[in-house]
């Protein structure tokens, strides 16, 4: 049995969607807010010293972190109906490029700006720093929009990129920005939300249109 350490609406939702799509049996352990709860961090740290979700424990007890690594591993397990274009598929290079772009460029903007106090001692500098990082993130999202096909990110087939887009567009700058500025990404997010196989996951993970902590 796989065990996913999670928090509703956070990046673990990307993995919950994949586990649902592949119908992989799993249990979910919900954690309190990792930014504010020392107890939640203490619980996760033995498995993942960086105390982030998603953190997945495989049936053999091995710990897998990093959503992109988990994404590739689950596709290996699933064999069919994969959310990762297989080797030889013409969409695979673009899929890999933008998957890594999401986790290497966009995701860290949250790591550093969700709670600037962790990195910036000088209190008055925190909000301007966050504003600049958020503006940078918006520029990155516009690049993702340019690369997006329709109806799905890589074209005709749903992939994990669509799941990242659906979850991460719930975060800053939130759907109210994505709808007018990145209409292709907004349409992908709505199309993912409409798929019946994901209904239960969204029930746990939907955030308000104007966002929460991030
Ligand atoms: N590189 C990681 C990023 C994961 C991540 O930043 N998760 C956030 C929630 S969406 C988190 O747990 N943040 C808590 C923290 O950074 O302290 C991945 O792709 O899985």
pLDDT for 116-170, tens place per residue? 999 999 999 999 999 999 999 999 999 999 999 999 999 999 999 999 999 999 9
Report CA(182)–ligand 1 centroid distance (Å). 23
Q: Burial letters for 100-125: b for 16+ Cβ neighbours within 10 Å, e otherwise? A: ebbbeebbebbeebbbbeeebeeeee
Query: What size, in residues, is the chain?
Result: 214
pLDDT at residue 214, rounded to an integer: 64
Check for a shared fold between 2-78 and 92-195.
no
Comparing C-alpha atoms, which of 7, 45, 9 is closest to residue 28? 7
Give one word for 51, left, alpha or beta, with left for phi > 0 and alpha for psi -120 to 50. Answer: left
CA of 51 to the centre of ligand 1 (A): 8
- Helix (H) / strand (E) element for 180: namely helix 175-181
Atom of ligand 1 nearest to the CA of 7: 9
Candidates 3.40.30.10, 2.170.260.10, 3.40.50.970, 3.90.870.10; CATH matching 2-78: 3.40.30.10
User: What is the Å distance from ligand 1's center to 88 Cα?
Assistant: 31
Whole-model pTM: value is: 0.96
- pLDDT tens digits for range 1-52: 999 999 999 999 999 999 999 999 999 999 999 999 999 999 999 999 999 9
CATH fit for domain 92-195, picks 1.10.8, 1.20.1050, 2.60.120, 2.30.30: 1.20.1050
Q: Is 107 in the pocket of ligand 1 (CB under 6 A)?
A: yes
Cβ(29)–Cβ(5) under 8 Å?
Answer: yes
Q: Where are the domains of the chain?
A: 2-78, 92-195
Which pLDDT score, from 0 to 100, does residue 79 have? Answer: 80
Rg (CA), the chain: 17
> Which atom of ligand 1 sits closest to the CA of residue 67?
20
With a 6 A CB cut-off, is 66 part of the ligand 1 pocket?
A: yes
């Amino acid at each position: 049995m796989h065990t996913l350490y999670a928090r509703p609406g956070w990046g673990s939702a990307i993995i919950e969607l994949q586990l649902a799509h592949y119908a992989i049996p799993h249990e979910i352990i919900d954690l309190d807010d990792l930014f504010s709860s020392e107890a939640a961090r203490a619980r996760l740290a033995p498995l993942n010293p960086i105390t982030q979700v998603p953190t997945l424990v495989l049936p053999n007890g091995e710990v897998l972190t990093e959503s992109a690594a988990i994404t590739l591993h689950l596709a290996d397990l699933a064999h069919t109906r994969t959310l990762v274009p297989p080797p030889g598929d013409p969409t695979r290079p673009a899929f890999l490029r933008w998957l890594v772009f999401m986790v290497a460029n966009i995701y860290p903007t949250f790591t550093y700006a969700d709670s600037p106090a962790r990195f910036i001692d000088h209190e008055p500098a925190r909000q301007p720093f966050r504003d600049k990082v958020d503006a940078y993130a918006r520029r990155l999202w516009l690049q993702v929009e340019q690369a997006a096909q329709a109806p799905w990110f890589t074209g005709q087939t749903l992939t994990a990129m669509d799941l990242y887009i659906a979850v991460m567009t719930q975060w800053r700058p939130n759907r109210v920005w994505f709808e007018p500025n990145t209409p292709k990404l907004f349409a992908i997010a709505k199309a993912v939300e409409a798929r019946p196989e994901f209904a239960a996951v969204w029930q746990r993970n939907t955030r308000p249109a104007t966002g929460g902590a991030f």
